[in-house]
Amino acid sequence: MKIVRAIAIALLGFLGITAIGGGCALIAEPTSHLTRMPLSGLAHSTLPSYVIPGIILFLANCVLGLSIRIVARQHQEESVKTTWKVAIWALGFLSISGLVGAIPLILDPDGVPWGYMHQSMLQYSPFHSYLIPGVVLFFAIGVLSLLIFVVTLKRRDGYGWWVAFQGCVLTGWMVVEVVMLRVLSWPQYLYLSVGLLLIVSGLALTRKPRTS
């Protein structure tokens, strides 16, 4: 278990360093010659520059820093309470964003959901519309995280494993999304951070507090 914890800390540390570096670069040079990301990359979004993505990416680093703290600390009673609260907030955010984000995909699968998701984004995927991705997002991310939120809130037996499972589902979803859409932008960084946070928090909640 010590080896697993050390590996988790190292990976989260690496992601944290890259997140804070990338976020600062986007904030400092939003036009963005510094990161070699031309503004044409925002052509299908409503953002005029990379300032907002940079801020979100920077905040994602704070989430990763919290994850490192959770993993590194000994699991005393107070630490378990903090980890539980973090998992609750992460699941709440994920359930709301998953449900809300899926609705336009389901209601307008052949159009331009959210005003920027053109059908051309699906050219490398096996889907011909956003219907199936929307349904999967609604149930696998929105509904499932809501159910796990309730289970975690009531502290049902084994709830930590369910939290970690939701983190794995979210992380897998983001990896598949990036591969199929061939697009890597700030939402992927944000939700990947949330997925890693849920995995770390869930595994931490599966361990019993040490007794003195």
What does the pLDDT look like over 37-89, one tens digit per residue?
Answer: 666 666 666 666 666 666 766 666 666 566 555 555 544 556 788 889 999 99
Do 116 and 101 meet the contact criterion of CB atoms below 8 Å apart?
no
Question: What Å distances lie between residue 176 and 65, 119, 148, 179, CA to CA?
Answer: 25, 17, 22, 5
Question: What spatial distance separates the first Cα and last Cα of the chain, rounded to whole Å?
Answer: 20
Where is average pLDDT lowest: 65-69, 125-129, 157-161? 65-69
In angstroms, rounded to a whole number, what is the distance separating the alpha carbons of residues 30 and 37?
9
The answer on pLDDT for 171 being more than 90 is no
Q: What is the pTM of this model?
A: 0.66
Question: For the chain, percent helix, then strand, then coil, each to nearest 5?
Answer: 75, 0, 25
